Structure 1
Amino acid sequence: MRARTWLLASAVLLTAGCAAERPPVAVPAAAPAPVEPAAASSGGACRLLDFGVIAKHTGGKFDVAAAVDKGDTHTCVVRAEQSLLPELALTVTDTSIDASGFSMDVLPRGAKKVTKLGKIAYRRTVPKSGKAGPAAEVGWLATEGRLATLRWTCPPGTATAQADKLATKLVDLAKALDTRKL
């Protein structure tokens, strides 16, 4: 009886080893999750911006950023991938100008002064031009000797009053930026 059991067990083991191997079952790979790059990954003045912070302060949703550095000037432009406008541009330039020089040479006529932003600051609304709507702009002299400007260009058909409200939101965004990190 033991011999039969041994013979049967050996036969089962031998035939199991001779069976044709089945090919592995192909499992489709999961689609990779889309990764939104941070604005800071574009370098330049974009290192100071974050899409989430922009949305929090302005309500605008952007997902594309591009930067240019030329000498002491660092610029970043952000847009939505599917649209040219609105567009937000940040420009930061090293400067030796003081608050008096800012008031005389930089402060645009008709601009409203802004408090608690750098050494001196302004906000203004610029009328529509060309194929773009009006623009909201905030400019300031940062405490570490940098001249900074945030400019939001609206799509055509945007009311000037809406751009003016946006200028107030840009002041809040400007206060959240740390130009020393450039």
Structure 2
Amino acid sequence: MRARTWLAVPAVLLAAGCADDASPVAVPAASRPAVVAAAASSGGACRLLDFAVIAEHTGGAFDVAAATDRGDTHTCVVRARGAALPELTLAVTDTSIDATTFAADVRPRGAAKVTKLGKTAYRRTLPKAAGTGPVAEVGWLAAGDQLVSLRWTSPRGTAPAEVEKTGGKLVALAKVVDTRQR
């Protein structure tokens, strides 16, 4: 039985063309499929965000998310792969303040009041800073006793009027962020 096996091996190799042919075999390059993980896979406050929902409400295409937790504050930052800006940041902090205290102590002076968002809310546009363009911000006191803010930091050279429009889009996004999921 062993003799037959030893005789069969060379016959198979010859039949396969491996005997005297030393030419290289062309192997196609393995293509790596692009894997886009959901924002929620980063954990923390990123569990409250979805790239498709962000794009639907803001028009921004993001595919990278990172989360961090420090004490009672949970933060998520989303960006487009390979680009530092624009950047969307969501911060959620547990709190015991009420709507009156929020309006007096948290809402920035000059910020516009936003209706139908949490217990009370505001929106504002901040001027450009070193290395960035203007920033749109929406902040609110969520029903689950949490201070929440969404900030859109634009790239350098972005017109303030464009960021003001983005602020309105952030309000729409804020209205679908369910902080009770955290």
For Structure 1 versus Structure 2, the TM-score category normalised by the shorter chain is: 0.7 to 0.9
Instruction: State the partner residue of 1:167.
Output: 167
TM-score of the superposed pair, with normalisation by structure 2: 0.85
Equivalent-residue separation in structure 1 for 2:17 and 2:170 (angstroms): 61
Aligned-residue Cα RMSD (Å) equals 2.2
In 1, Cα distance between equivalents of 2:111 and 2:34: 42
Q: TM-score, normalised by structure 1?
A: 0.85
Read off the aligned partner of 2:102 and give its amino acid letter: F
Q: Indicate whether 1:77 and 2:77 are aligned.
A: yes
Query: Which residues in structure 2 correspond to 1:141-156 (within 5 Å)?
Result: 141-156=141-156
Q: For the residues of structure 2 that align with 1:23 and 1:177, how far apart are their CA atoms?
A: 63
Is 1:135 matched with 2:129? no
Q: What does the per-residue CA deviation read over 1:55-80, in whole Å, with 9 as the maximum and x for residues that have no partner?
A: 00000011111110011100001111
Tell me the percent identity.
65
Runs (4 or more) in structure 1 with deviation over 6 Å come to 23-27
Taking the aligned partners of 1:29 and 1:156, their CA distance within structure 2 comes to 39
Structure-1 residue corresponding to 2:178: 178
Q: CA deviation at 1:83?
A: 1.1
Specify every segment of 5 or more residues in structure 2 that has no aligned partner in the other structure, as ranges.
1-7, 19-24
Matches within 5 A, 1:17-36: 20-22=14-16, 28=28, 31-36=31-36
Q: CA deviation at 1:35?
A: 1.8
Larger Rg: 1
Which residue of the partner structure matches residue 40 of structure 2?
Answer: 40
Q: 1:140 to 1:21 in 2, by over 3 A?
A: same
How has the CA–CA distance of structure 1 residues 179 and 23 changed in structure 2, closer, same or farther, with 3 Å as cutoff? Answer: farther
Output the amino acid matched with 1:57.
H
Matches within 5 A, 1:2-13: none
- Give per-residue Cα distances to partners, 1:109-168, cap 9 Å, x unaligned: 111111111000011100111111100000000001011000000111111111111000
In structure 1, stretches of 5+ residues that fail to align are: 1-14
